[in-house]
Amino acid sequence: MGNSDFISQFMWAYQRSFAILVELEAKRLLERTGFAGHPRVILIGFEASEQHAYPVCIEPEDGPYAPSDLDGVLDRAADLYGQHPDRDMYYGAPHFRQEKQDKLRNRLRAQAIEDQLGAHAASAGRAFFASPSARRDDYEVHVVLSIDTNALKQVPRLEEMSEWHGPASPSIVEAIILELLDQAHRELYLPGAGHIPGGIGYGLPEIWQRALQRMLRTAIDLAGHAGGAETAEQLGNIASLLYEGRPSAGRLVISPQGSPAVDVVLRLHTPVHLAKARHMRKLLESSGSDLALLMDDHQVYGFGTVTDSDEHARRSIFEIDIDKGGRWRLSRAGTTLFSAQDGVPRLPVPTLDTAYLHDVITRLLPDADTVTLDGLAMAASKHTHGAMLIISSDAAGEAARLAPQAARTEPIRLTPQLLSQLTNMDGGVLVDTQGRCHAIGVILDGTANGNGDASRGSRFNNAIRYLDSDAPAAVVVCYSSDGDITILPSLMPRRDRKEITQLVERYLAVSTALPLRLEDAAELNDEIKANAFYLSADQCEQVKQARAKINEWRTENGRVTVIEPDLLPDPLMNESYWLHEHES
């Protein structure tokens, strides 16, 4: 754990770059999924021949863990093996038994690593995942990835799967992590592991695809079917297949046979196998919110509904909803586990962020009745096909200007119930800062300026164009038909100026302290990049100098130099983004 110009805990030549590549891949995978869990990767190797200075090696060796922190891992793994029911499993061929038992011991050593690191004082607030080991030269090397525990707690998951081992997974985040670790484990067997330009393995799309199939297989297993990987792959193909040249909407229910929570309305004379994808898509065209297509193992057998009569039975039922835009989502008992589009999984969008709505209203519309407007925004979220609430500082004037493409109303204070009814029509509802309605069916205007999002609908992009025009100060809440809720404009949250100052000061202190702790420096650098919007020109220059000092140390000590673009002050940053003293 010192500052040397070579690797003291040496396993193989490219161990440092390999750990960095896996961590970068983890960040890219999880960020695109909508998970901000700050993944970190370490490598742990156990010597095979008992002839090395370090029986246990850790990469990075200047991190918070020392080899002595893992002294009890092998004993713990032996205890786990002695208690495991598969230890006495009978296999006909001796070599086959040896192979199975070796894999079991390897997996249990990975579990022991997770337990040992999780109990370490430096691991507070982190959840650990360890791969099986792969032989690198004379070490059995495990790849270990940790993420923020609080962030993981916010992810929808199947709690009864917490002790599950195998191809299933409790959540889409854990499925991605397990697939990444599986790929990293295979990569360790290659001669150039860590020396391959461009990252590891087969890349993000393939890992996402395998994670989605892992989650579908989990649903199939928990529904009482031994569908396996083939059925999961067929389900994924059905969700993405075009019907008559367009993405098709539909709903499919995976349930145990004869479930008391499923009411079969129409049974097919001959069940249709999932492999008949085009036939399946035609059937899905007839399904929807009222009737779902019912799946039993690897085939569909009819149409029906999920009832509320047996709450326990509903936990063995999974629903796949496919939108016309080609997006699909997996749910259980009313909770969406994840959605997917174009092969990329996404965590469910949270409900209306009332804290941010209150913040942006008070900043842009200081005289607004925030209690009334919060209630109207919540009511609008009950829409069935998308909606838009426009809160304007000059609602009367905008209602008159937009009248050709909106229906003006006599100003009336809306109730949540009335607003829920009004959002069933196309267009937005225009209200003033006190919650009085001035127009319905509103289509916002504005000039395209490149700030929109081609993957979003016209409702969202019209709001972007409108707010980027010379319109009076306004807040727009867009509700998409697939559940997304977006509050516009998207302003950075207000921050305490002292917090940003202290963050930069901590980074400067770490950059000059010896021995340099790279993990602390990297963590603070990530935090600074996440808060770059608030940095002044002087602070950007200080960060630049601190990075240069860290890279100088890296060069002197044989470490990989990290080249990043310099941070620059954001032209949009101004005094309105700082909290006042009484708000801090």
CATH number at residue 249: 3.40.1700.10
Same domain for 450 and 514, yes or no, is no
Does residue 42 form part of some domain?
yes
How far apart are alpha carbons 252 and 76 in whole angstroms?
44
Whether residues 342 and 466 fall in one domain: no
Per-residue pLDDT, 581: 62
Are 298 and 380 members of one domain?
Answer: no
Residue where one domain finishes, among candidates 166, 201, 236: 201
Q: How many structural domains is the chain composed of?
A: 4
Closest CA to 370 of 385, 356, 384, 388: 356
Ordered per-residue pLDDT tens for the chain, 584 residues: 344 447 889 999 899 989 989 999 999 999 999 898 899 999 999 998 878 889 999 999 888 899 999 999 999 989 988 888 777 776 666 766 778 888 888 899 999 999 999 999 888 889 999 999 999 989 999 999 999 998 898 899 887 664 444 567 899 999 999 999 999 999 999 888 887 654 555 578 899 999 999 998 888 888 888 756 677 777 777 766 655 555 557 888 998 878 888 899 999 999 998 888 778 878 887 777 678 899 887 888 999 998 877 777 888 899 988 876 678 889 998 888 999 888 899 998 767 788 889 889 999 998 999 999 988 988 887 665 678 899 999 999 999 998 888 899 999 999 888 888 887 777 889 999 999 999 999 988 866 565 666 556 677 888 888 888 888 999 999 887 666 788 999 888 888 999 999 999 999 999 998 888 888 888 899 899 989 999 999 999 999 999 999 999 988 887 878 889 999 999 989 988 998 765 55
Distance separating alpha carbons of residues 393 and 399, to the nearest angstrom? 12
Tell me: do 360 and 480 sit in the same domain. yes
Q: Which residues contact residue 411 at a Cβ distance below 8 angstroms, ignoring those fewer than 6 apart?
A: 395, 396, 432, 436, 437, 438
**Residue 373 belongs to a domain:** yes
* 1: in domain: no
380, 423 contact by CB (below 8 A) = yes
On whether both 160 and 71 belong to a single domain, the answer is yes
CA distance 467 to 475: 8
Q: Say if 450 falls within a structural domain.
A: yes
Domain-embedded: residue 39: yes
Q: Characterize 568-581 residue by residue with b for buried, 16 or more Cβ atoms within 10 angstroms of its Cβ, and e for exposed.
A: ebeeeeeeebbeee
196: left (phi over 0), alpha (psi -120 to 50) or beta: beta
Residue 473 and residue 369 share a domain: yes
Based on the domain organization, do 156 and 55 belong to the same domain? yes
Q: How far apart are alpha carbons 232 and 212 in whole angstroms?
A: 9
SS3 57: strand
How far is it, in rounded angstroms, from Cα 6 to Cα 115?
Answer: 30
CB-based contacts of 344, cutoff 8 Å, min separation 6: 32, 33, 205, 208
Instruction: Give the pLDDT of residue 529.
Output: 92
Same domain, 358 and 328: no
Residues 37, 175: one domain? yes
Instruction: Assess whether 168 and 44 both reside in one domain.
Output: yes
Do 100 and 44 lie in a common domain? yes
The domain boundary, picked from 201, 228, 252, lies at: 201
Q: What is the pLDDT of residue 582?
A: 54
Q: Pick from 471, 488, 505: which residue ends a domain?
A: 488
Whether residue 3 lies inside any domain: the answer is: no
- Does residue 5 form part of some domain? no
Residue 385 included in any domain = yes
Same-domain pairing of 478 and 544 = no
Q: Which residue range is the domain that position 376 belongs to?
A: 354-488
pLDDT at 205: 87
Rounded-to-integer distance, Cα 101 and Cα 87, Å: 7
